[in-house]
Every structure is written in C-alpha cells, then in structure tokens.
C-alpha cells in the first residue's frame, strides 16, 4: 500500500511560499549589496577629496581651490547621509525578508517531520497487520495439524 500524506497539498503550498520568500530574500540581499556598494564608493570618494585637500594645504594652494574642495566635501557629505538612509532601509528590508523566509522554512520543515512521522506510523501499522496475519496463519495450520 502506497503512502498517501493527507496534508500533501498544504505542504506543497507551504513549499511554494518558502521558495517565493527565498527569492524575495535574495532580491533584497542584492538590493542591499548595491546600496552598500554605492555608500562605499561615496565614502571612498570623500576620503580621496580629503586627501587631496590635505595635499593642497601642504602645498599652499589658493583659497578658491580650498573653497571648491570644501564645497565638494559638503556635497559628498549630504550624498553620504542620503545613501546611508537608503542603505539602512535596504538592510531593514533584507532582514524582514530573511525573517519571513525563515518562518516559511520552519513551517515547511514541520510538514516534512509530520509526513515522516505519518509514514513511519503507517509502516508500523502495516508491519503489525502482517504479523497478525502471520500469527493467524500459524494458528490455522496448527489447528489443521492437530484437529
């Protein structure tokens, strides 16, 4: 007798939800990585401008060059602030998607465990039925032999 899990349809739906949540999580991870890389590039650019400004101070550059450099740094600082917010939002979204995926994964795992438990119970019941039939067969043979 083939094993038929009564909750197979629910398990299939749960598996689809888990896979969809995993895809959403992967998309969120990619988005976070893009935002984080953009932030990194801005920070690196700021670092380069600061180094150039330090070099200008050592070389006694003109005031207008220093003002331009400072304006550039101010603009970069604003961009960095905005990018930091976007990166933080992407991180929060990624963590939420991860939590959702983990919930679906746990739910699916519970269905898998339940299915295995039911399969084991059916196998044990089948073994008991076979043993009972064997016992009845032995009793019948014994009765025929001594009757």
The pTM (predicted TM-score) of the whole model is: 0.76
Q: In angstroms, rounded to a whole number, what is the distance separating the alpha carbons of residues 64 and 69?
A: 9
d(CA 14, CA 7) in angstroms, rounded, equals: 11
Mean of the per-residue pLDDT values for the chain? 92
pLDDT above 60 (res 106): yes
What mean pLDDT is predicted for residues 113-119? 92
pLDDT band for 8, please (50, 70, 90 cuts): confident
pLDDT digit string, tens, across residues 9-27? 888 999 999 999 999 999 9
- Calculate mean pLDDT across residues 76-90: 97
- A 10 A CB-CB count for 35 gives 21
Residue with tokens 């304006």: 71
Closest C-alpha to 31, from 85, 98, 87: 87
Q: Ranked by mean pLDDT, which of 55-64, 67-76, 96-105 comes out on top? A: 96-105
- What average pLDDT does this structure show over 36-57? 93
Kindly tell me if the per-residue pLDDT of 112 is higher than 70: yes
pLDDT in tens, 121-140: 999 999 999 999 998 988 88
The pLDDT value recorded for residue 1 is 57
pLDDT of residue 147: 66
Task: Give percent of the chain with pLDDT exceeding 90.
Answer: 70
């Amino acid at each position: 007798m083939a094993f038929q899990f009564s909750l197979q349809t629910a398990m299939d739906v749960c598996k689809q939800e888990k896979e969809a949540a995993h895809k959403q999580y992967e998309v969120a991870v990619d988005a976070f990585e893009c935002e984080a890389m953009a932030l990194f590039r801005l920070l690196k650019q700021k670092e380069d401008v600061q180094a150039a400004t330090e070099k200008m101070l050592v070389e006694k550059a003109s005031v207008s060059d220093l003002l331009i450099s400072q304006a550039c740094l101010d603009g970069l600082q604003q961009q960095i602030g905005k990018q930091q917010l976007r990166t933080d939002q992407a991180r929060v979204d990624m963590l939420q998607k991860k939590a959702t995926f983990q919930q679906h994964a746990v739910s699916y795992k519970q269905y898998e465990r339940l299915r295995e438990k039911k399969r084991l119970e059916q196998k044990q019941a089948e073994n008991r039925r076979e043993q009972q039939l064997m016992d009845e067969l032995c009793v019948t043979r014994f009765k025929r032999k001594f009757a």
